[in-house]
Chain A
Amino acid sequence: MQKNALIHSGHITPLKIYLVVGAALIFLTAVTVAVSFIRLGGWNVVVALIIASIKALLVAFFFMHLIYDNKLYLIVLSAAVAFLAILIILTMFDTMERDRIYPIKAGPINKNAIIYERHTSDSLANPNHSQPTDSSADEVH
């Protein structure tokens, strides 16, 4: 690519686009707050994450110029999101489904908080030995 060193080829986004995207982000914020007051059970978090993802994409594509810039930057962002997804999805499979194979049940890990002083006598005295009764098999397999 031959380019004159004096010419800066950065894309200049029209003012209107920034203002429209900003307004869309604030509108979507209002939508996500409104939806949170409707009881949808497990779907609340799904709707909230979809709206948040749309907002994040608007920020990335227009404010961070991904739509105009070298697509290499888009690949870097996608790689971050992909590895984050792998991290969360695989860990969630493990933590939610492990008890199908091993007799393990999730429970309080460490009753270290002061509030437990009122309920149990040994919580603060032995912070390292405070396994709850129903999850005594929490050791790693």
Chain B
Amino acid sequence: MRRGLGNEMNHHIARPEHLAHHFNDTEQQRESAKLGMWIFLLTEILLFGGLFLAYSVYRAWNPDMFYNAHKHLDISLGTLNTVVLISSSVTMALAIRFMQIDKKKHTAAFLLATLILASIFLVVKYFEYAHKFHLGQLPGKYYTYTGIEGTNPHIFFSIYFAMTGLHGIHVIAGMSVITWLLIRTMKGAFSSSYYTPIELAGLYWHLVDMIWIFLFPLLYLIG
């Protein structure tokens, strides 16, 4: 690891264990990791972008049907889930903040709180889905419900299930990563000088929150 005479002076003083050999210092490593994460988030925005485009086109073609169909979503459950997800973003941000000042038990507690809030989100989503399955408000050719006026009401539910479903998969993925980070935090893998994995997971979790911030008014609050 310490090759060359010129580098000897710089590196034998401080070469932390978490610092990979191809980075000059912790700060460069951290900034590179965050840039990589942001580029990944860019691809995530474009992944959801296709669905937002489908939403825009079909809503523009069927404005009355979208209005009638959205009345069958439960605004109070949607609002509850929005508040739950925003709170989970706050707890995630606080988990990182407490690791920055080396309060590792606080970090573990806030990661656990984030997981609990994410579980509440999924449980509420489960009840919403179960209700729609029961009524036959299903995507595409599986749609059997008859209580909505306008042409092609199944398109609204195709888009509803595609968008909230993809979002739900992201919530589950985020929960898996946060569980792993919680275990590593409790094992003492992180400190105020190294917490990049928690920071990157936080960026991902906030993006999932941001996407829901747009999904909620577009699906539940049409008029």
- Contact, CB under 8 Å: A5 / B217: no
The answer to whether B169 has its CB under 8 Å from any CB of chain A is no
The answer to whether B52 has its CB under 8 Å from any CB of chain A is yes
Of chain B, the residue at the smallest CB distance from A11 is: B100
Residue-wise interface mask of A (36-57) relative to B, using a CB-CB cutoff of 8 A (1 in contact, 0 not): 1001000011001101100110
Residues of B in contact, count (CB < 8 Å): 69
Given A48-B218, A60-B206, A88-B52; A114-B90 close (CB under 8 Å): no
- Contact, CB under 8 Å: B26 / A8: yes
- B82 partner residues in chain A, CB cutoff 8 A: 29
- Contact, CB under 8 Å: A22 / B45: no
- Contact, CB under 8 Å: B193 / A6: yes
A129 CB, nearest partner CB in chain B, Å: 15
Distance, CA A49 to CA B52, complexed state (A):
12
- Contact, CB under 8 Å: A80 / B46: yes
- Contact, CB under 8 Å: B217 / A48: yes
- Contact, CB under 8 Å: B41 / A77: yes
A124 CB, nearest partner CB in chain B, Å: 8
A26 CB, nearest partner CB in chain B, Å: 6
- Contact, CB under 8 Å: A5 / B15: yes
Residue-wise interface mask of B (75-107) relative to A, using a CB-CB cutoff of 8 A (1 in contact, 0 not): 100010011001101101110010011000000
Distance, CA A119 to CA B211, complexed state (A):
37
- Contact, CB under 8 Å: B214 / A52: yes
- Contact, CB under 8 Å: B46 / A114: no
Distance, CA A25 to CA B142, complexed state (A):
37
- A69 partner residues in chain B, CB cutoff 8 A: 34
Interface size on A, as a range, is: 35 or more
Of chain B, the residue at the smallest CB distance from A13 is: B97
The answer to whether A4 has its CB under 8 Å from any CB of chain B is yes
- Contact, CB under 8 Å: B14 / A5: yes
- B142 partner residues in chain A, CB cutoff 8 A: 113-114
The answer to whether B140 has its CB under 8 Å from any CB of chain A is yes
Q: Of B16, B38, B210, which one neighbours A73 at CB under 8 angstroms?
A: B38
What residues of chain A have their CB less than 8 Å away from a CB belonging to chain B? 1, 3-6, 8-10, 12-13, 15, 18-19, 21-22, 25-26, 29, 32-33, 36, 39, 44-45, 48-49, 51-52, 55-56, 59-60, 62-64, 69-70, 72-73, 76-77, 79-81, 83-84, 87-88, 91-92, 95-96, 106-108, 112-115, 118, 124, 127
Q: List 21 A-B contacts (CB under 8 A).
A: A3-B25, A3-B27, A8-B100, A10-B30, A10-B199, A13-B93, A18-B90, A29-B216, A36-B220, A36-B223, A52-B216, A56-B214, A59-B209, A59-B213, A79-B42, A80-B42, A87-B46, A91-B57, A95-B57, A95-B61, A113-B141
What residues of chain B have their CB less than 8 Å away from a CB belonging to chain A? 14-16, 19, 24-27, 30-31, 34-35, 38-39, 41-42, 45-46, 49, 52-53, 56-57, 60-61, 75, 79, 82-83, 86-87, 89-90, 92-94, 97, 100-101, 140-146, 151-154, 192-194, 199, 202-203, 206-207, 209-210, 213-214, 216-218, 220-223
Q: Give the top 3 A-B pairs by smallest Cβ distance, nearest first.
A: A36-B221, A48-B217, A22-B90
